[in-house]
Chains A and B, each alone.
Chain A
């Protein structure tokens, strides 16, 4: 049974679109290897919203922006928080450097208690009415990989 993470990071006002794109471009090559290594994440993606446009789509507006990290993962996020910090710490550090209040949490490996509190506060999936998740299957990532290892 997977769990959702919908981490919404309010980007520091004044941060330009290109700065955000540059950060995502910089960390993207690390993301796949890190998630493969962790081994519990089914899907993960970034989502950028522009609060200055009526339909929230980035490109035509000027911000401020909200940067989302959207994943479905197996297991207990808090139990694995230090492992996530070990494998994904540099990625979260880059993202949180853009976010309001993020500087108080980085480097995440050295601020575990604060990181947990930040996630709980900013994970929309932990706040009603966003807590639901539809799943077509109950397999874990590793069960799926094992089934496909022929």
Chain B
């Protein structure tokens, strides 16, 4: 039996989706170390006129707002951690999101390169803290709490930028898809308010929280020990979506593939825009399935009528199948070892196809994990940016029907670099060695990284320790 999680010691966003309409993320740089120690102390206790850091503990009445805090490697170093201590942290965290190696690994190149990032995020060494405020829906509360925070941190932190997010109707994102359906089921975590069951293994808590056994059978830790148990990591990302470009892609390339634009939209995602998965609704979107069915499917099945090893229904290169191959065979280990929790929200106005504009819009938020190297960077670098991770596998019809290896090309249509000189997406068709497959090629990138920071989300114990160390 896994160790029970002390929810009161875990920052809320790690284990809970807040289901809010508004958010504001402050990108901050430390100017007065002792002052930051005092600021964090007040946040922990909700004293000094400051909101209290939100814990993962149960609440009887849902709060009007939620506050969490992440620190970069430069940030925790600024608060006093030594190089020897930082060497015990995740390697990607140590490097930081703006490092050449991380940027290259996750596809932050060209227009997405850190040098082009907004809001001071381009200078990774100057970004120390990402402070997060989520509000259920009242803009006045967003401004009120913002004012409280700014008043408190103005003497010790420079606000490099603030980035707002606003939910679209019914959990849709700018590309027009129903989002926020699939999340890992974490062993010992509080259940989701609205259960969305799936047919996947429960993920050990150590995949998201230091100090607990992870999928590899070890308990990740850092030094000093006060920062270990109940802490987590997150990639903070600002991802700008080219909605007009994506819609143009659908109308241009669907006829080339001989399918309807909405079918192409479903194929590149793995779900219809109403959220229904292709595995369960392969021919038409239909009406949105009940929550208990929406995510309850696998790709490989001993029942030939349900098996989709070859990606004939849900393309092997689709976004949801790359991001979580479920029970499909992949090189290395399996999907349970590389899950992430997504806590992102849309920003920018909803796209109106009758009045196309170039106003920035996209997704902003955290991708949470117990190891940035082995989860966020692995998922993005190995599954979204390559097609070589799929193991040789045939379906019920044997090799004459094809092999999974031949039925994926290129990169993720959403999160890939997708230079038109090599971009490629495969629609699988029965036949040996993929010889009947259809490929669409030459499409551009639709999501540009506008900012990022690798953060450590300390436990409450860890925050107290950092606050004390900064103040001393």
A79 touching B377, Cβ below 8 Å: yes
User: Counting CB contacts under 8 A, is B390 at the interface?
Assistant: yes
Given A86-B337, A87-B333, A113-B87 in contact, is the A149-B403 Cβ separation under 8 Å? yes
Considering only CB atoms and an 8 Å cut-off, how many residues of chain B contact the other chain? 34
Number of A-B contacts (CB under 8 A): 82
The 8 Å CB contact of B381, one of A79, A86, A107, A147, is A79
* CB contact list, A64-110 vs B, under 8 A: 74-76, 78-87, 107, 109-110
Tell me if B356 is interfacial: C-beta within 8 Å of chain A: no
Question: Is the Cβ of A38 less than 8 Å from the Cβ of B388?
Answer: no
Q: Among the listed A75, A76, A86, A146, which residue makes an inter-chain contact with B333, where contact means beta carbons less than 8 Å apart?
A: A86
Given contacts A38-B332, A80-B332, A109-B218, contact A142 B399 (CB under 8 A): no
C-alpha spacing A78/B373, complex, angstroms = 9
The residue in chain B whose Cβ has the minimal distance to the Cβ of A143 is B405
A86 to B214, CA, bound (A): 11
User: Judging by beta carbons under 8 Å apart, are B333 and A83 in contact?
Assistant: yes
Docked CA distance A84–B378 (Å): 13
Instruction: Please provide the chain B residues from 380 to 432 with a CB less than 8 Å away from any CB of chain A in the complex.
Output: 381-382, 386, 388-392, 394, 399, 403-406, 432
For A79, give its contact among B105, B394, B403 (CB under 8 Å): B105
List of B residues within 8 angstroms of A107 by Cβ: 218
Chain A to chain B: the 7 pairs with minimum beta-carbon distance, closest first: A83-B332, A146-B405, A145-B392, A39-B331, A146-B403, A146-B392, A83-B333
29 of the cross-chain contacts (CB-CB < 8 Å) are A39-B331, A74-B388, A75-B386, A75-B388, A75-B389, A76-B381, A78-B373, A79-B105, A86-B216, A86-B333, A87-B332, A109-B217, A109-B218, A110-B218, A112-B374, A113-B87, A140-B388, A142-B390, A142-B391, A142-B392, A142-B405, A143-B392, A145-B392, A145-B405, A147-B433, A149-B392, A149-B394, A149-B399, A150-B399
Q: Which residues of A approach B to under 8 Å, CB–CB?
A: 38-40, 74-76, 78-87, 107, 109-110, 112-113, 116, 140-143, 145-147, 149-150
